[in-house]
A and B are shown apart, each in its own frame.
Chain A
Amino acid sequence: MEMLSGAEMVIRSLQDQKVEYIYGYPGGAVLHIYDALAQQEKIQHILVRHEQAATHMADGYARASGNPGVVLVTSGPGATNAITGIATAFMDSIPMVVICGQVPSTLIGEDAFQETDMMGVSRPVVKHNFAVKHPSEIPGLIKKAFYIASSGRPGPVVIDIPKDMTTPTDKFEYSYPESVSMRSYSPATRGHSGQIKKAIELLLGARRPVIFVGGGTIGGRACGEATELAQALNYPVITTLMGLGAYPSTDRQWIGMPGMHGTYEANMALHHSDLILNIGARFDDRVTNATEKFCPTAKIIHIDIDPSSISKTIAVDVPIVGPAKSVLLEMLALVAKSDTQPDVGALSDWWVEIDQWRQRHGGRYERNDNGLLKPQQVIEALYKVTKGDAYICSDVGQHQMFAAQYYKYDKPNRWINSGSLGTMGFGFPAAMGVKLHYPDAEVVCVTGDGSFQMNLQELSTCSQYEIPVKIVCLNNQSLGMVRQWQDMNYESRHSQSYVESLPDFHKLMDAYGHKAIIVKTEAELMPALEQAFALKDELVFLDIHIDPTEHVYPMLVPKGSMRDMWLSKTERT
């Protein structure tokens, strides 16, 4: 049996887990691990400039690939800096394994230098966390961490390793477990057949159905099955912010995103539906508007791997706990051999109604005649230039909603955003994580002048490792979404939402050795984008000046139902 130190076990276990990249930042408590890292070549470490970015890079990679991202940080500030990124992954159910150092076990509890109770601090924002009590536990705990992070409803797992668990001279027998079994953790492997039968009866008897697809469909790798079911039935499909790309957005049956800034037709169809088949979405508050007014005539079937997501905010009629993929496969088989078929007449009337709603708004926006670019125009141009095939990693704010609304996602895992936590600063490092793993793909960070400044230090990481992401900054010299809410709810008192003293982004990119292009007019837009994407090996920052007064529409009216929307600054339903 091979004898390894705890530090060597950490690295060997990650190798045996087939990890290619880890993102991190060294410090006192993890120096033994970093020393073990330096003595091997299988795993590449990416040195970030702030630990938050390490977690977002791992997260971006996880969202694009479906595999857990791996982070290595030191104790104290290293660990606490990672918290925002861990919480971001937790809220969006993204698999991640975070290894953090801890002060030696003999000092724990004594307020030692760089000591933080990471078990306590991270507990509310992790799927699980482990503290290492003996070096020989390390391989087993790492195996468990990957298993927990990526099975069931995925999420981040933290492993807290006191420095004395990694002492180079203390060697123990190493073997990496082949499998894990835990008596206290066994996620559902299939749905209840009786419930699935009931669901099919409702589904086939519906006259105004919608299929409501969430992030769980992507996380559960069930997009093909969901698409097949929707097309077999010819039912309209709505994808949530987290589910964009799970069903092709250019297909006729896709009617948009629901919720706060969802499409008019998606919100109207939901409100008037008689049946909602929810696949892996959790009816969160940004989707439902007032829960007591949510879809008054709809029966609801809800497929979710996490039973606690079912009937949490909205009571459902047929709950199905299980992995989306196996449940949908069972549903497809039942639909294929069922004697009942959907009522073609009712369905065609339903489509006529939906198409009328589609006509009414259909993502329209007013263009300026004074030359100021509209953010929507920029996203449409981006879609054209990238032929709809880029990974779009968004930050948080108005630009995020525009990127969700005006880029059409035909594939899953291409739209990467912090949906639930809404973490500004997420987009750029997430894009870096994606680009490292998919060097031949176009990877774009869509950001704003506010969000970008929350993690711009990573420009330096991009220089070091030559990560040529493209950054599309919708520059409105303000915190656009805050400003929009202030316009709508606070009589346009723009309290602290104007970003004074923006840096000269051109000079900033110069300082880091990157390229910047400034765009101020419509005429400059397409050529600038084309030029940027032609520079395959360069990070290009597009500083695109847009109309600072623009709002995101449609927008649900607070405390209303799904059909209560602002459609423009002056028009509401």
Chain B
Amino acid sequence: MRHIIAVLIENEAGALSRVVGLFSQRNFNIETLTVAPTEDPTLSRLTVTTSGSDRVIEQITKQLNKLIEVVKLVDLTEGDHIEREMMLIKLKATGQHRDEVKRTVDIFRGQIVDVTSSIYTVQLTGDQGKLDAFINAIGEAYVLETVRTGVSGIARGDKVLSI
């Protein structure tokens, strides 16, 4: 099963390499990984999406917790949560198809952020499923390039991950 794990980690040189190293060392999957400093500059927040049996996920959270620089973590998929990913996607947009691309972007509430006579560059935000659905709707033949940020997530309601 897919899990989204949010981690607060000391914002120190090498801290990220410990997380990445842990995953490869122990044969865990990383599907996506995002990381950036938080409002407290001494802390970074990292979101990992991973998959595995319950036992593997339990090991992942325990092993992450064991890293000295990890301050706190939560498996967001254990409760209600919001997940978002941002994609920039460069699409062929010529002839009759140009309008169709525009319509699809509107339906998915994307924004065209750059235009040439034959290309739209689109910014789209949503969960992984929405982004995948957009690519399907456009048709892979029209996709020139994509870049996705990976998932970031936050719990719904009054649950807060902070120290």
Segment touching A, from B12-20, B119-127, B150-158: B12-20
Q: Considering only CB atoms and an 8 Å cut-off, how many residues of chain A contact the other chain?
A: 19
Q: Are B68 and A184 in contact (CB under 8 A)?
A: yes
Task: Name the interface residues of A248-284: CB closer than 8 Å to any CB of B.
Answer: none
Bound-complex Cα distance A148 to B69 (A) = 12
Question: Which residues of the partner chain A approach B9 to less than 8 Å between Cβ atoms?
Answer: 184
Check B128 for interface membership: any CB of A closer than 8 A. no
Which listed segment binds B: A306-314, A350-358, A392-400, A486-494? Answer: A306-314
Question: When chains A and B are docked, how far (Å) is the Cα of A52 from the Cα of B113?
Answer: 58
A120 within 8 A of B: yes
| Contact for B14 among A127, A131, A148, A184, CB less than 8 A | A131
B21 touches A127 (CB 8 A): no
Residues of chain A from 172 to 200 with CB closer than 8 A to chain B in the complex: 182-185
Nearest-neighbour CB distance to chain B for A147, whole angstroms, equals: 11
CB-based contact A308/B59 at 8 Å = yes
The A interface, classified by DSSP as helix, strand, loop or mixed, is mixed
Q: How far is the CB of B7 from chain A (nearest CB, A)?
A: 11
Verify A124–B21 contact, CB threshold 8 A.
yes
Q: In whole angstroms, what is the CA distance A314 to B107 when docked?
A: 50
Q: Would you call A360 an interface residue if the criterion is a C-beta within 8 Å of the partner chain's C-beta atoms?
A: no
Contact B14 A128 (CB under 8 A): no
Please name the residue on chain B nearest to A128 by beta carbon. Answer: B68
The interface bits of chain A over 143-154 (1 if a CB of B lies within 8 angstroms of the residue's CB, else 0) are 000001000000
Q: State in angstroms the CA–CA spacing of A184 and B71 once bound together.
A: 4
Q: How far is the CB of A145 from chain B (nearest CB, A)?
A: 11
Residues 291-333 (chain A) with a chain B CB within 8 angstroms = 306-308, 311-312, 315
Contact between B66 and A311, CB atoms less than 8 A apart:
no
Contact between B68 and A183 (Cβ–Cβ < 8 Å)?
no
- A184 near B13: Cβ-Cβ < 8 Å: no
Known: A183-B163, A311-B55. A127 touches B62 (CB 8 A): no
Asked whether A557 is an interface residue with its Cβ less than 8 Å from the other chain, the reply is no
- A392 to B69, alpha carbons, bound, how many Å? 37
Q: Which of B18, B21, B66 contacts A306 (CB 8 A)?
A: B66
- Chain B, 60-95, contact with A by CB distance < 8 Å: what is the 0/1 string? 001101101111000000000000000000000000
A183 to B11, CA, bound (A): 13
Which residues of chain A are within 8 angstroms of B68 by Cβ–Cβ distance?
A: 127-128, 148, 182, 184-185
Residue in B closest to A182 when the chains form the complex, CB atoms = B68
B63 to chain A, nearest CB (A): 5
A184 touches B69 (CB 8 A): yes
* Interchain CA distance A465-B54 in the complex, whole Å: 54
B contact residues around A437 at 8 Å (CB): none
A119 within 8 A of B: yes
| Contact between A308 and B17, CB atoms less than 8 A apart | no
Decide if A131 touches B62 in the complex (CB within 8 Å): no
Q: A308, B63: Cβ atoms under 8 Å? A: yes
A408–B137 Cα gap in the complex (Å)? 73
Given known contacts A123-B18, A124-B21, A184-B70, is B58 in contact with A131 (CB within 8 Å)? no
Is the CB–CB distance between A312 and B59 below 8 Å?
Answer: yes
Q: Which of A131, A183, A185, A311 contacts B13 (CB 8 A)?
A: A131
Which residue of chain A lies nearest to B64 when distances are taken between CB atoms in the complex? A308
Residue of B62, B63, B71 near A183 (CB, 8 A) is B71
CA distance A183 to B70 in the complex (A): 9
Which B38-71 residues have a C-beta within 8 angstroms of A?
55, 58-59, 62-63, 65-66, 68-71
Mask: chain B, 137-163; 1 = CB below 8 Å from A; 0 = not: 000000000000000000000000001
Q: Is B25 an interface residue (CB 8 A)?
A: yes
Whole-angstrom distance between the Cβ of A94 and the nearest chain B Cβ: 17
The digit string for A125-159, where 1 denotes a CB below 8 A from any CB of B, is 00110010100000000000000100000000000
* CA A511 to CA B38, docked complex, whole Å: 64
A312 vs B58: C-alpha distance in the bound complex, in angstroms?
A: 9
* Smallest CB gap from A313: residue in B: B55
Which of B13, B17, B59, B62 has a CB less than 8 Å from the CB of A123? Answer: B17
Task: Assess whether B66 is in contact with A308, with CB atoms less than 8 Å apart.
Answer: yes
Q: Report how far A123 CA is from B67 CA in the complex, Å.
A: 11
How many Å from the CB of A485 to the closest CB on chain B?
Answer: 25
With a cutoff of 8 Å between Cβ atoms, the chain B residues found around residue A184 in the complex are 9-10, 68-71
Q: Chain B residues near A311: list those with CB within 8 A.
A: 55, 58
- Do B14 and A119 touch (CB < 8 A)? yes
Complex contact A120–B17 (CB within 8 A): yes
Given contacts A120-B17, A124-B25, A308-B62, 4 further A-B contacts (CB under 8 A): A123-B14, A184-B10, A307-B62, A315-B55
Give 25 CB contacts A-B under 8 Å.
A119-B14, A120-B17, A123-B14, A123-B17, A123-B21, A124-B25, A127-B68, A128-B68, A131-B13, A131-B14, A148-B68, A182-B68, A183-B71, A183-B163, A184-B69, A184-B70, A185-B68, A306-B66, A307-B62, A308-B59, A308-B62, A308-B63, A311-B58, A312-B59, A315-B55
Q: Which of A's residues lie within 8 Å of B, judged by CB?
A: 119-120, 123-124, 127-128, 131, 133, 148, 182-185, 306-308, 311-312, 315
